[in-house]
Amino acid sequence: MKKKLKAYSWGYYGWSTQIEHFLEAAEAHEVSEGFASPAFADVRIKRSGRAKTFVNNAFEKVVGEGRYRWFPGLGNPKVAAHEEGLAVAKPEEAESLLKYIEDQAKAKRRVLFFCACQYIEHDGEPCCHRRLVADLLLEAARKANKSLEVEEWPGGEPQAIEIEEDSMPRYGVYYPLGSDLPEAGATTLPVGSTAQVSVGDELLDAFGTGPAEFRKGQWWLPIYRWPIEEGEDILESISTKANSMRRAQGTLPRTSNVSSSRSVGSLPMQDLNSIEALLEAIRNLPADQPVHTPRKWYLTQKEHWIGWLSDYSGPGAYGRQIGVKRDAKFAYNHIVQPEMLIYLAEASGVDRKLVKAAKNAFAKGTTLMQKSGAIRGIIPWETVSAALWPN
Ligand SMILES: [Zn+2]
């Protein structure tokens, strides 16, 4: 099996005066996953600014030249020109970054490519050019037939942590973790995680959270709260909303989809109709052309599917309709967005004539429901399923 490369995007916002704590937490995270301390790829067009730790080669001196390289060509030229907007000066330099990621992988290091911005996306809109760098990098990997996953640091699936206290600490918008590096990865909790605080047997607080921050001499978990509707299950509501926040911040992993594996074939037959099998199959399909639509959290229909199916099989989705079996066919038949159906048909390799007929039907319908219904009339689940799993 082909080895999978992994890289992280990262923004040093908030860390410049606390960089040794960030590096300590990052190293602990990587070591816990069997890697060495990470390497860094600087994707700023200019190495200036107020953060002294990141001016010129100051950061290189901190981590050592073996773990740092500057890729000015992957910087955003609009920043240098004092304009708004996202761009990449020399997109072809993504190939050099890919090479750097491969070289570092030989030394068991994973690479964080970084600029200053706090978020890669805000409200589902790309707000930092490292999102473009991620796309270019995945494209370069695809061309080189390399399997690469890119994720915003620290990545990972949201976790539910439980904090047990002898007595309730006082806190406001951050939860105190003390001055020592907390164990069990609390400093690098994935965005969209949840925390429950209890004293004795009593659950006293629950909130959404993410990677810890270091301020005023100690570690803190960020606290996110949302209004809870009457009758809602509090923990379920927090976990659903924390997950939406994760998507709005663009922190889902993205891959180059090199199809070394339609590995789903190894699953037992009865599993092929599960949501998980469909999710896995879609992850292995090539992505469609990214389209930036205002107020939409996804850039591609592939991402749209993955996000939608992840919710579908998640804890928030079950238990509402007792007795309804939510399998892949059920999911396919409940898609309202016709673009998702067209994408799946094309990417899975459904007969071109059928796809063409489906596109015609798409153009004719007036409502989304009509359009997607007409597409399914031409390409039912069985056709897609046969294309996804030819045997
Ligand atoms: Zn940026």
Same domain for 12 and 138?
yes
Same domain for 199 and 301?
no
Ligand 1 centroid to 322 CA: how many Å?
Answer: 46
Same domain for 334 and 384?
yes
Same domain for 147 and 12?
yes
pLDDT at residue 269, rounded to an integer: 45
The rounded distance, in Å, linking the Cα atoms of 296 and 50 is 33
Ligand 1 centroid to 215 CA: how many Å?
Answer: 22
The sheet with strand 39-42 has its strands ordered as: 68-70, 39-42, 111-115, 5-11, 148-152, 254-255
18 backbone dihedrals φ, ψ, rounded to 5°: -125, 30
Ligand 1 centroid to 50 CA: how many Å?
Answer: 15
Same domain for 143 and 169?
no
The rounded distance, in Å, linking the Cα atoms of 320 and 322 is 6
Same domain for 43 and 133?
yes
Instruction: Specify if 256 maps to a domain.
Output: no
Cβ-contact 29, 185 below 8 angstroms: yes
Same domain for 36 and 110?
yes
pLDDT at residue 258, rounded to an integer: 65
Same domain for 151 and 9?
yes
Ligand 1 centroid to 115 CA: how many Å?
Answer: 5
Same domain for 135 and 22?
yes
The rounded distance, in Å, linking the Cα atoms of 175 and 181 is 14
- Which pair of tokens denotes residue 315? 């804890």
Same domain for 194 and 144?
no
Q: What is the pLDDT along the chain (391 residues), one digit of tens a residue?
A: 457 899 999 999 999 999 999 999 999 999 999 999 999 999 999 999 888 999 999 999 999 999 999 999 999 999 888 888 899 999 999 999 999 999 999 999 999 999 999 999 988 788 999 999 999 999 999 999 999 999 999 998 888 888 889 999 999 999 999 888 887 678 899 999 999 998 888 888 999 999 999 999 999 999 999 887 777 788 888 988 998 888 888 888 888 876 544 333 334 444 678 888 898 899 889 888 888 776 677 788 998 898 888 766 554 433 333 344 568 887 888 787 899 999 999 999 999 999 999 999 888 877 777 888 889 999 999 999 999 988 7
Beta-strand relationship, 202-209 and 193-199:
antiparallel
| Dihedral angle computed from the Cα positions of residues 293, 295, 301 and 305, in that order, rounded to the nearest 10 degrees | 180
Ligand 1 centroid to 72 CA: how many Å?
Answer: 13
Same domain for 166 and 136?
no
Instruction: Specify if 313 maps to a domain.
Output: yes
Domain boundary residue, one of 186, 206, 240: 240
Instruction: Specify if 138 maps to a domain.
Output: yes
The rounded distance, in Å, linking the Cα atoms of 41 and 136 is 15
Domain coverage including residue 99: 5-155
Give alpha helix (H) positions in the chain. 19-32, 58-63, 77-80, 94-106, 130-143, 234-248, 275-283, 301-313, 328-333, 338-348, 352-364, 368-378, 381-388
Ligand 1 centroid to 82 CA: how many Å?
Answer: 13
Question: Coil, strand or helix: which one is 342?
Answer: helix
DSSP collapsed to 3 states, 44-83: CCCCCCCCHHHCCCHHHHHHCHHHEEECHHHCCHHHHCCC
The rounded distance, in Å, linking the Cα atoms of 152 and 325 is 34
Report the number of distinct structural domains present in the chain.
3
Residue 195 CB coordination number (10 Å): 24
Residues with Cβ < 8 Å from 83, sequence gap 6 or more?
none
Instruction: Specify if 255 maps to a domain.
Output: no
Same domain for 179 and 114?
no
Residue with tokens 């429901």: 369
The rounded distance, in Å, linking the Cα atoms of 307 and 381 is 20
Ligand 1 centroid to 276 CA: how many Å?
Answer: 34
pLDDT at residue 314, rounded to an integer: 53
Give alpha helix (H) positions in 164-300. 234-248, 275-283
Ligand 1 centroid to 166 CA: how many Å?
Answer: 42
Instruction: Specify if 248 maps to a domain.
Output: no
The rounded distance, in Å, linking the Cα atoms of 78 and 85 is 6
Which among 151, 212, 140 has a CA at the least distance from the CA of 10?
151
Residues with Cβ < 8 Å from 248, sequence gap 6 or more?
121, 122, 123, 124, 297
| Dihedral angle computed from the Cα positions of residues 263, 269, 270 and 276, in that order, rounded to the nearest 10 degrees | 10
